[in-house]
Amino acid sequence: MWVSGLLSRARTPARLLRDVLPASGRRGPAISSYSASAEPSRVRALVYGHHGDPPKVVELKNLELAAVGGSDVHVKMLAAPINPSDINMIQGNYGLLPKLPAVGGNEGVGQVVAVGSDVTSLKAGDWVIPANAGLGTWQTEAVFSEEELMRVPSDIPLQCAATLSVNPCTAYRMLMDFEQLQPGSIGDSVIQNASNSGVGQAVIQIAAALGLRSINVVRDRPDIQKLTDRLKNLGAEHVITEEELRRPEMKNIFKDMPQPRLALNCVGGKSSTELLRQLAPGGTMVTYGGMAKQPVIASVSLLIFKDLKLRGFWMSQWKKDHSPDQFKEMILTLCDLIRQGQLTGPACTEVPLQDYQRALEASMKPFVSSKQILTM
């Protein structure tokens, strides 16, 4: 099927959108058309026209590439991951939903092919990542506005660049923003669940780089020892299962390390309740996901007598509340950790774009520790 269009932008003339917009005429990061005298370049993109089960509603379509305007940047996408937020967005269960039809993907890395005459911060050959969510990275190439992109160093591994702007940033901000943690052998510790997730792996490494000790909770599985070894190789001090977290013997861990002042919750339900029980008085639990699809249940006595705090974190909201320069500063800090060997990309499986259904299905299976990366 041939579809005319690409991601729409606020400045796109409305008359060019007549055939593809919903009746309301509202525009967002959806599919738009473009008229040009020259033969347009053809682009392959993963598009969804309505919300639902990702393997069923996402389709590989051909699009036309818009001409490069004065403030535009032509980007050839190199690699883009499938994150839980991408899945939730396609399902319609996310805090940010693009207008439909839309190109999937919130994260990835591309290389600049050409820039418009008014572009000053980028040049051909630069590597770029999305400045914000909702850009639509699951496509072979695209034309974006300069302000929608951020340059990243090209001397870091491709998989690290492709997965830089969501999980590592989330991990870094949660470790830095909620408690003033002290490093060292008798310093502060952090406890987290979903420790083998992309954020979890980043938390382990960044915490170790900061001199913090970590307790990492995972679900039990047949290859638990293999997973434990891999997480410890990343810098995890303790790796325990959800079942072990609930046992009385858990207190033995704190004979040689302090109770954590920070808990990071991506699961909810019973798992989050157990994380709260392990916190030191005055500690904070930050929730950034809800994999169990169950509410966070907090004991009244823990809130009153231990003065525990419950907070939430969403990277997209952090970006709204902070300047592009602050985001860039964080990205460069993370790139320094990558260069120093203190931060690596998550375990990944590269999948060609045309095999997207296999990648989508794999990303939704339980106990999968490998992130699916679409290669263009």
| Residue of 48, 94, 288, 356 marked active site | 94
Tokens of 189: 């510790």
pTM: 0.88
pLDDT digits (tens, 9 = 90+) for 327-359: 999 999 999 999 999 999 998 999 999 999 999
The CATH code of the domain at 43-163+345-375 is: 3.90.180.10
CA 164 – CA 176 distance, rounded (Å): 17
pLDDT digits (tens, 9 = 90+) for 46-77: 999 999 999 999 999 999 999 999 999 999 99
CA 127 – CA 154 distance, rounded (Å): 6
DSSP character at residue 30: B
Query: What element of type H or E holds 171?
Result: helix 167-177
Tokens of 29: 């990061």
pLDDT digits (tens, 9 = 90+) for 80-136: 999 999 999 999 999 999 999 999 999 999 999 999 999 999 999 999 999 999 999
Checking if the pLDDT of 177 tops 70, the result is: yes
pLDDT band at 282 (very low <50, low <70, confident <90, very high): very high
- Classify 111 as helix, strand or coil: strand
Checking if the pLDDT of 18 tops 50, the result is: no
Bridge partner residues of 76 (DSSP): 111, 141
C-alpha dist (Å) from residue 60 to 118, 220, 319, 353: 33, 36, 30, 8
pLDDT of residue 39: 52
| Residue 332 CB partners (closer than 8 Å, separation 6+) | 153
- Domains of the chain, by residue range, sit at 43-163+345-375, 168-316
Q: How many residues does the chain have?
A: 376
CATH topology of domain 168-316: Rossmann fold (3.40.50)
Tokens of 37: 């005298």
Checking if the pLDDT of 321 tops 80, the result is: yes
Read off the pLDDT of each residue in 155-179 and give the average, rounded to a whole number: 98
pLDDT of residue 368: 77
Q: Is 34 a catalytic residue?
A: no
pLDDT of residue 20: 33
